[in-house]
Each structure stands twice: as C-alpha cells, then as structure tokens.
Amino acid sequence: MLARQFTAYGPSHWAIIAVFVIGAGLLVWLGRRQTEAQARRLGRVLGALTAVIYTAILIYVLTPPTIESVPLQLTDLATVVAAYALWSQKHWAFALTYYWGLVLSTQALVSPALQSPDFPHYQFLAFWAIHLLVVWAAIYLTWGRGMRPDWRSYRFAIVVTAVWAAVTFTFNSIAGTNYGFLNRKPGTASLLDVLGPWPWYVVTATALIICVWALMTWPWERNAASRQGSIVD
C-alpha cells in the first residue's frame, strides 16, 4: 500500500500548527519565570537537542551523499545558528535566529515546500522538526528571555544572508540545483507564486525581506530609545 502523501492544510498540517502554537506559548511562559541559571540550563538542553536532531538528519541525507543533499538550504544554516544561540545566547547568533526564524522559517507553516509521505514518515518528521525548532528558538529568546535586535543586528543579518545567497546561487548555477529556490520556484505552491517569474520574484522577495526585517527592528529600537530618554530625564 502506498503511503498517504502530505498535503498542505490537511489534518497533519493543522496538527503541526497546533503543536507550534502550544510549544511557543509554553516556551514564553517558561522563559519569563526562570532564573538566569535555569535559563542557561534550559538553553543548553534545547540547543543540544536541536544540534543532535539536525546532525541525525544530516547524516541520514548524506548517506550516500548526492548533489541534492548538500546542506546549503538557509534552513540548514538557521538550524545550526539557532542551536548555538540557545546554547550560548550570543547576540549575533540570536540576531540571525530572530530574523531567519521569524520570517523565513515560518513560511513553512504557511506554505510548506514538502513533497513526502505524511506522518509518521521520516521526511515529514525531519522537515517539521528543524523548522519548528528554529522558530521556537527565536520566540523563546525574544519573548521568553528578553533578548532584543538592534540596527546593528539588522545590518549583520542582511550581510550574512546576502553572502549565503551569492554562494548558493553560484553553486546552483554550476550544479543545476535549486537550493533556497534562488534559481527557480519550488514545485509546490508557495508565497513566491504571487511575486512574479524568475528573477523578479527573487528581487521582490529580497526587497520585502529587507523592509519586513526593518519593521521587526524599529519597535525594539524605539522602545530602547524611550527607556534611555526616561533614564536621562
């Protein structure tokens, strides 16, 4: 018997969304009630868990290695950075997790580019595990632990993302792959479908990301400036 294929907004997709909401709420609630020592321990547990899950997935997809299994998706980089951000709570790692997780990884919740058998197939579990862990990390560190982005974080995220895009686009052009959907749209329905044909959807998506990330930075910076002003007064 053929396994049932995953379909967007089918029962398993709605179940994942429910798990995401419950997990995010729990992490924020927990993060706000922890001491620094407790937060450090939980961060290291979550970071190690994220790293172990990603390593297991990477070993599986690289056995045997193929041109389609190179870890060049932004999700790969985001998962590694999120694990380190949870473990170390370094600001640069948090910044990338904040921007990548809350904008790029959350697209999986809205328009998952997943072509695999449904739950409990390993591809289904692997896809959702790494996407949810990255978004949860961003939510926990921001609203649970009170870490905040600033304009320096914003500029850093743009530069790192631009370097990744340049390297990945070059690799795609040479190898005929499509990591990051930089060279063509995914085979499944996605938000890119409303942004026009290639290469215009890349240009439009880039402009949107830059604007959205700025809007995600401005309120925190304004609040920080307001608090600083109050202290001076």
pLDDT tens string 198-220: 888 899 999 999 999 999 999 99
**Domain annotation covers residue 1:** no
Residue 49, Cβ density class (10 Å: 0-12 exposed, 13-18 middle, ≥19 buried): middle
Q: Nearest 10 degrees: CA dihedral of 49, 76, 58, 89?
A: -30
CA distance 193 to 19: 27
Going by pLDDT thresholds of 50, 70 and 90, the confidence category of residue 227 is low
**Domain annotation covers residue 3:** no
Average pLDDT of span 24-43: 94
**Domain annotation covers residue 6:** no
CA quadruple 219, 225, 230, 231: dihedral sign: positive
**Domain annotation covers residue 183:** yes
pLDDT of residue 229: 57
Per the CB < 8 A criterion, the answer to whether 180 and 72 are in contact is yes
**Domain annotation covers residue 134:** yes
- Give yes or no for residue 192 having a pLDDT over 80: no
CA quadruple 206, 159, 72, 123: dihedral sign: negative
For the segment 85-139, what is each residue's pLDDT rounded down to a tens digit? 999 999 999 999 999 999 988 888 888 888 889 998 888 999 999 999 999 999 9
CB atoms within 10 A of CB 68: 11
Structure tokens at 221: 């910076």
Backbone conformation region of residue 102, classed left if phi is above 0, alpha if psi is from -120 to 50, else beta:
alpha
**Domain annotation covers residue 218:** yes
**Domain annotation covers residue 168:** yes
CB atoms within 10 A of CB 24: 18
Expressed as residue numbers, the domain containing 100 is 11-232
Going by pLDDT thresholds of 50, 70 and 90, the confidence category of residue 157 is very high
Give me the percent of the chain exceeding a pLDDT of 90.
Answer: 68
CA quadruple 52, 58, 62, 63: dihedral sign: positive
pLDDT of residue 164: 97
**Domain annotation covers residue 4:** no
Angle between helices 151-175 and 91-99 (to 10 degrees): 60
Structure tokens at 45: 């547990």
pLDDT of residue 120: 87
The number of folded domains in the chain is 1
CA distance 130 to 127: 6
